[in-house]
Amino acid sequence: MKEMFKINQFNLMASEMIALNRSLPDVRLEGCKNKLYPDNLPRTSVVIVFHNEAWSTLLRTVRSVIDRSPHTLLEEIVLVDDASERDFLKRPLEQYVKRLEVPVRVVRMEQRSGLIRARLKGASISTGQVITFLDAHCECTTGWLEPLLARIKLDKKTVVCPIIDVISDDTFEYMAGSDMTYGGFNWKLNFRWYPVPQREMDRRKGDRTLPVRTPTMAGGLFSIDRDYFQEIGTYDAGMDIWGGENLEISFRIWQCGGTLEIVTCSHVGHVFRKATPYTFPGGTGQIINKNNRRLAEVWMDEFKNFFYIISPGVTKVDYGDITSRASLRQKLQCKPFSWYLENVYPDSQIPRHYYSLGEIRNVETNQCLDNMARKENEKVGIFNCHGMGGVLCKHKQNNQSVSSEFATYQERCKQTCQHFSTMEMTEPIA
Ligand code: UD2
Ligand code: MN
């Protein structure tokens, strides 16, 4: 089991022992179970991109879509292989999907392109009025699709996400996600779940079965009208491999006149992993920083500086050409980021007004206030100024962080990291 875990960073042995068409609990709120939806909902293509995905999780995703969606609403399933290096994902996959009751097409990227460009390819060859994106290790539950499509039918500028339930990476147990959390992000532009604020509960008059307006989406699971996807500029094809595209499309939807929702009556499970199983050609940090930088440069106006001061390393990466994305923003006459913070995400951690950003330094001792790698609400300390924003060292093996106190033996935390080959730079846990 432990050996197999390394292949996909989840318990592959457990996954392989579970039927591809296993039953799942109905985790919906009672009030969702008898809602009625119009008959003439738009049809969707389901686009699933994958790189070296396991057979069982990929096909369980496909099966769950087929088994739990009304076939009248399902145009096709499009599987986009992002240059996987597994033989079973070649001809055996093509043979297998031919036998399924719904048209399933397999297309391949010529070279490893990352999930963003793979999704663009899938979207471009698909034909349904709606495009639904899923990760390759999901399971759809009863009634997942209708409430998503119903929102789009009402207003094609509404982009909708299901509640993402948790499929344990350890046991593959299915656990209901909460309808009381929504999407946000922290200072470092990492997507995070936060409690749905009171204002959003009030707007819905306390009815939890109504969709939640969310500042951001997690990224992997959402439905969008095909024409609207085009209109608002699909994805930033200049983003590589993984990361950043979820906030980019979230900011863009809100700033350019759309709405982003979590439809609480729709539940889809996803295997959340603690580590990534695949390579990031060029380096994980490089790629994520590049994508985040494109996002910040195009959409965040003066607030990008806040991000850069917090994560100084980001400004060192080359982020390529963003003129076409900037002119898209111009063309669509999108609102400023300050509008988004004010109106969509007032509970954001990014301060809308501030005097100054930077370190608090004792000029005599050259020491700075430092969170000492402690968590929120714990005491701050004093430590040598390192000018690197919030960084700390983390064991590569067991993920345990080493506080800056330990690092006082070194001149800087960075040197500590370099000193131990088993450690790498990371960011503090939000
Ligand atoms: C989350 C999203 C994911 C994406 C990512 C940020 C959910 C549940 N998942 O991370 O969809 O938005 O944040 O970018 O919201 N893949 C490729 N080529 C690659 C890398 C990945 O095809 O080079 C596929 C991969 O096989 C998977 C999908 O892209 O099907 C998402 O990747 P992930 O599962 O590693 O991302 P996750 O869930 O950690
Ligand atoms: Mn995933």
Q: Which protein residue has the closest C-alpha to ligand 1 atom 15?
A: 220
The verdict on 377 and 261 lying in the same domain is no
Q: Give the ligand with the smallest distance to the CA of 193.
A: 1
DSSP letter for 313, please. Answer: G
pLDDT in the model for residue 78: 98
Q: Which ligand 1 atom is at minimum distance from the Cα of 48?
A: 30
Q: What's the longest Cα–Cα distance across the chain?
A: 74
Confidence of residue 423 (pLDDT cuts 50, 70, 90): very low
Structural domain includes residue 310? no
Taking CA atoms only, the protein residue closest to ligand 1 atom 13 is: 219
Find the 14 Cα to ligand 2 centroid distance in Å. 17
Q: Atom 34, ligand 1: which residue's CA is nearest? A: 135
Q: How far is the CA of 197 from the centre of ligand 2 (A)?
A: 26
Q: Smallest Cα–Cα separation from 32: which of 260, 221, 269, 207? A: 207
349 pLDDT tier (thresholds 50, 70, 90): confident
Using left for φ > 0, alpha for ψ between -120 and 50, and beta otherwise, residue 243 falls in left
* Strand locations in 67-221 (E): 74-81, 104-108, 130-134, 138-140, 158-167, 174-175, 181-185, 191-195, 212-213
Average pLDDT over residues 258-268: 98
Which of these three, 271, 295, 324, is where a domain ends? 271
Separation CA 122–CA 80 (nearest Å): 6
Closest atom of ligand 1 to 241 CA is 23
**CA dist 196 → 204, 214, 260, 325 (Å):** 11, 8, 14, 31
336 vs 360, higher pLDDT: 336
% helix / strand / coil in the chain, to the nearest 5? Answer: 35, 20, 45
Distance 115 CA to ligand 1 centre (A): 6
194 lies in some domain? yes
Which CATH number characterizes residue 137's domain?
A: 3.90.550.10
Say which residue, 94 or 367, is predicted with more confidence.
94
Which atom of ligand 1 is found nearest the CA of 191?
A: 13
Mean pLDDT of 257-264: 98
Between 79 and 427, residue with greater pLDDT: 79
23 and 132 together in one domain: yes
The amino acid that residue 396 corresponds to is: K
Mark whether 240 and 373 lie in a shared domain.
Answer: no
Q: Confirm whether 32 is domain-assigned.
A: yes
Q: Whose CA is nearest to atom 12 of ligand 1?
A: 219
The structural domain count of the chain equals: 2
DSSP-assigned letter for residue 114:
B
Q: What is the dihedral of CA 134, 140, 143, 146, to 10 degrees?
A: 10
| Residue range 146-165, pLDDT digits in tens | 999 999 999 999 999 999 99
Using CA atoms, how far apart are residues 258 and 278, in angstroms rounded to an integer?
A: 34
- Same domain (yes/no): 266, 358: no
Residue 425: CA count within 13 A, CB half-sphere:
15
Q: Using alpha carbons only, how large is the chain's radius of gyration in Å?
A: 22
State percent of the chain over pLDDT 70.
89
Q: Which atom of ligand 1 is nearest to the CA of 138?
A: 8
Asked whether residue 4 falls in the same domain as residue 141, the answer is yes
Which ligand places an atom closest to the C-alpha of 220? 1
What pLDDT, in 10s, does the model give residues 168-199?
A: 999 999 999 999 999 999 888 999 999 999 99
The domain boundary, picked from 271, 291, 310, lies at: 271
Which phi and psi (to 5°) does residue 61 adopt?
A: -60, -50
- Measured by CA distance, the residue closest to atom 9 of ligand 1 is 220
CA–CA separation, 262 vs 215, rounded Å? Answer: 10
How confident is the model at residue 312, as a pLDDT?
A: 82
**CB-based contacts of 32: which residues, under 8 Å, 6+ apart?**
143, 147, 209, 264, 265
Give residues (CB < 6 A) around ligand 1.
49-51, 53, 82, 112, 114-115, 118, 135-136, 164, 218-221, 241-243, 245-246, 270, 276, 278
Which residues is 78 bridged to in the sheet?
Answer: 47, 105
**Residue 272 CA to ligand 2 centre (angstroms):** 6
Interatomic CA distance for residues 296 and 337, integer angstroms: 10
Is 59 within the bounds of a domain?
yes
pLDDT in tens, 12-48: 999 999 999 999 999 999 999 999 999 999 999 999 9
The dihedral through the CA atoms of 399, 403, 407, 409 has a sign that is negative
Predicted TM-score of the model (pTM): 0.89
Residue of 58, 115, 279 to mutate, ligand 1, most atoms within 8 A of C-beta: 115
Q: pLDDT of 62-101, one tens digit each?
A: 999 999 999 999 999 999 999 999 999 999 999 999 999 9
Phi, psi of 189 (to 5 degrees): 60, 35
- Asked, for residue 280, whether it belongs to a domain, the answer is no
64 within some domain: yes
pLDDT exceeds cutoff 80 at 355: no
Answer yes or no: is pLDDT of 399 > 60.
Answer: no
Identify the sign of the CA torsion 373, 377, 378, 380.
positive
Distance between Cα 137 and ligand 2 center (Å): 6
**pLDDT: is 370 or 396 the higher one?**
370
Structure tokens at 175: 């656990």
Q: Determine contact, residues 93/104, Cβ cutoff 8 Å.
A: no
Check whether 397 has a pLDDT greater than 90. no
For residue 268, pLDDT over 70 is answered with yes
Instruction: Count the residues in the chain.
Output: 430
Separation of CA 135 and ligand 1 centre (Å): 6
For the CA of 81, the closest atom of ligand 1 is 22
Assigned domain for 20 exists: yes
C-alpha 82: how far from chain center: 18
Strands 104-108 and 74-81: parallel
Nearest to 268 by CA among 174, 183, 192: 174
- Same-domain pairing of 264 and 381: no
Measured from the Cβ of residue 105, the count of other Cβ atoms closer than 10 Å reads: 17
Give residue 388's pLDDT: 67
What tokens does 58 get? 């990929």
Instruction: Find the 221 Cα to ligand 2 centroid distance in Å.
Output: 9
- What is the band of 391 on the pLDDT scale with cuts at 50, 70, 90? low
List the residue whose alpha carbon is closest to atom 28 of ligand 1. Answer: 135
Residues 6 or more apart whose CB falls under 8 angstroms from that of 300 comprise 251, 307, 337
The partner residues of 381 in beta bridges, in order of sequence, read: 370
Instruction: Indicate which atom in ligand 1 lies nearest the CA of residue 114.
Output: 23
Question: How far does the centroid of ligand 1 lie from the alpha carbon of residue 50, in Å?
Answer: 8
User: Are 53 and 184 in the same domain?
Assistant: yes
pLDDT for residue 406: 38
Whole-angstrom Cα distance, residue 253 to residue 73?
A: 25
Q: Per the domain annotation, does 311 fall within a domain? A: no
Residues 255 and 362 grouped into a single domain: no
Q: What is the pLDDT of residues 280-318, one digit of tens each?
A: 999 888 999 999 999 999 999 999 988 888 788 899 999
Going by alpha carbons, the residue nearest to atom 17 of ligand 1 is 115
Question: Would you state the pLDDT for residue 390?
Answer: 59
Range of the domain at 193: 1-271
Domain end, chosen from 246, 271, 296, is at 271
